[in-house]
Structure 1
Amino acid sequence: MADPVRTDLPTPRPAPAGPTDDRPPVCLGDFAELARAAVPPGVWDYVDGGSGAETTLAANRAALDRVAVLPRMLTGVDDPRTAATLLGREQAMPVVVAPMAYQRLLHPDGESALAAAAGAAGVPYALSTLSSTTIEEVTAAGAGPVWFQLYWLRDRALVADLLDRAHTAGCAALMVTVDVPVLGRRRRDVRNGFALPPDVTAANLPGGRDDLAHTGTPGVSAIAAHTGAVFAPALTWADLDWLRDRTPLPLLVKGILDPRDAVRAVQVGADAVVVSNHGGRQLDGAPATATVLPEVVAAVDGRAEVLLDSGIRSGTDVLRALALGATGVLLGRPMLWALAAGGRAGAETALALLATELRDALTLAGCADPAAARDLRTLTGG
């Protein structure tokens, strides 16, 4: 039976004429224009933009669109399960709400609302180090597992403190992001001189550690200035060895593109690698994640889970990722769109739509569950 779809979403301001005008969203993409109408232009550019010429940002979507899945016939499937196991725990879908910073830019309830929506949908929520709500508040708000995403900071004592807080708060996994030695040059933010408003802070950092993020200067991204001051630019595999010894939680390494790095992450003790180019927001010219995913899966060879990040927009995309060998996916920008459009209710609707789309895709592909989808064949190019 299909999940119910909310039709009572608030619209903060009238959306531009288009497919969502006066009608409820029917896909994740419908939330984009609702979100764009709901937030200031600078915030929209911060969420929507990529680095450089946004080549990699566009490539993520194009690569997924080129993946054709060969459905199987006469399999007798009419009501597939969407449930899948991630890091040893069954989830309602092979989907994780991706870690994304400063969610109170999109809605006053921010991370707490999105975590609660993820919990209600039965999927994990990954909380960013740069969240605008504390670890403790978010774990209290979420009805489901919260995974803590760690950015490596120059202050090792602060890294240790964040780990201790994540453990104490009951986080179910630790995801370390390794592709941000410095922030990618995001031209939209530079042009806008983008800075955080006073009421949106890096809530997990000690007071004053995010002052630079609030200092608006023409032609300068305050976000980039802040991360340049607090992030450690020279993270090494030795640091990951320290981290593996420091935490008993399942460990995910996010930001992997080269299969050789995936193998090294497994050797360090990672339980999963996340194939990610940071949503096209770091090295512009890096490959689309769907393009390198099969090579990473082959290199890991079952020794760890492999999740796909960057560009997922539909249940069909989840099916594509599974067919390419992924264990699951991270879902990013669409959840921010939904949060901006309707807070927790918007996010719940988006995840319900995704579940319906995934169920339909599995049925049409002849798969009884996500595990079966990993046996499908794919073609590239249509």
Structure 2
Amino acid sequence: MIDMSQGTPHRRWRYRAQRLAGGSSFVAGNQLTLLQNGQAYFPAIEAAFDRARHEIHLQTYIYENDATGQRVTTALRRAVLRGVRVCVLIDGFGSRNLPPEVRKRMRSDGVNLLIYRPEISPWTFRRKRLRRMHRKIVVVDRDIAFVGGINIIGDGTASDARAPRYDYAVAVEGPLVEAIRLAAQRLWSRLAWRSLRKELARRVELPTSTVAGGSMSAAFLLRDNVRHRRDIEAAYLQAIRQAQSEILLAHAYFLPGLEFRHALAGAVRRGVRVVVLLQGKVEYRLEHYAVQALYGSLLDKGIEIYEYRKSFLHAKVAVIDGHWATIGSSNIDPFSLLLSLEANLVVDDEVFGARFARMLKETVKTDGWRIEAKSWNQQPAYLRFFSWLSYGLLRLMRGLSGYVRENDRARGE
């Protein structure tokens, strides 16, 4: 392990334009609260549900019927009983373990429930099966929204119940809530029409929020397969290419394309410190070993790699130069950047960014295991072969999905 307690250098840069790459705008006047792990997140959304007066949107990849899921379901039921319209959108694959009787009971209780791509039979192969709804969004009236990487599932794991998943979300109050609400509403309406349940597509007229905002600037980014295919990736690249002192990345799955890897290498050549915190425990073998296939080339370029081995790392976050930060559902891998529906928040605020950077550095210092280039390059040949085989299989799966960007073809990516 290595000491990362040193502070971020004082040299700063700011976005002079009000737009991110991809066209999304920064919106000023927000109050943003960083929430680490389900221990902070679930009480916050439950309290928001209990304050709801008109409408709740909850969109999540995984919805489990564990103690946490049951607690959330009960809070939604309380809102329905007060006359609140509750719209829950889950992914058919991610939430495949949610029992049919639970779904039926939620609907009978008055919860409007839709399933994104419910056909998941392994015997019916379709290219679109790899395109999932991976967003984690909660919106309550026009008052508060939550964006991050936390699913509706308890923090504990079967293998290590005492160690929570490492993850983040952000509570948003202020004018940006409306953009998040409209995005959730558009996806909900589209799925309602596609599911031939047009009665669920109706929109509720909501009063203007009376919740005070704050002084923070942030932007809400989506990734879809229509107008916003590259918005999240483009925002990352824009920030990395402007970085002056430090880039901190923490990702459950990290399989960047050639353009992204070149941007990180270019930052190192400019004297920027690049630190990547990755999953150390094996959760999904194929993805885990595919990520390791890139370790050698990243280390050779001067990028520092640490593995988080305390529990399962589920975060999808970054902080650059102590003020630019992003938190959301998007990993840096082909499934997030090229296939799935994702949602990230980008924050440009020195107080928020500096605090977040300190938290990430403390995690790396106390729970990160540094991967050294010399020892990694001495790995047995069969392990490196297995890593590259896993990497190749994931690329093949991306190709079978039917989505390969033209510039990826040109580069052989």
TM-score, scaled relative to structure 1: 0.29
TM-score, scaled relative to structure 2: 0.27
Higher Cα radius of gyration: 2
Greater helix share, structure number: 1
Greater strand share, structure number: 2
Higher relative contact order (CA 8 A, sep 6+): 1
